[in-house]
Amino acid sequence: MLQTIINMISGLAGGNITGAAAKKINPGMIISSVSGLVGGGLGGALITSSMNSGGRMDMETIVSGVAASAAAGAILTALVGFIRTRITTK
């Protein structure tokens, strides 16, 4: 449970950083936060399950989960922002 919370917070940070950095595809703060949370939760769960950590909370698991969650949150936010920009400009 703690790893999931860490993953979601990391995804939230990754999503909001991406939203702030990519002005042209910024979907907005709320959408960046939600997509970051979802991306972080799913990305972290995927990397943790692929590592076969078995529920361990060692430093390697935490750091890789944070990195994967932030990246997944950033990617999902960029994707949502891109799609939203394409839809609203037509």
pLDDT at residue 35 greater than cutoff 90? yes
Single-letter residue type at 29: M
Q: Cα(71)–Cα(60) distance, rounded to whole angstroms? A: 16
> Which pLDDT value is given to residue 23?
82
pLDDT at residue 63 greater than cutoff 90? no
Least confident of 18-27, 42-51, 52-61: 52-61
Q: Where are the alpha helices (DSSP H) in the chain?
A: 2-21, 29-50, 59-88
How does the average pLDDT of the chain come out, rounded?
85
pTM of the model: 0.83
> Which pLDDT value is given to residue 82?
92
Place of tokens 């590592």: 51
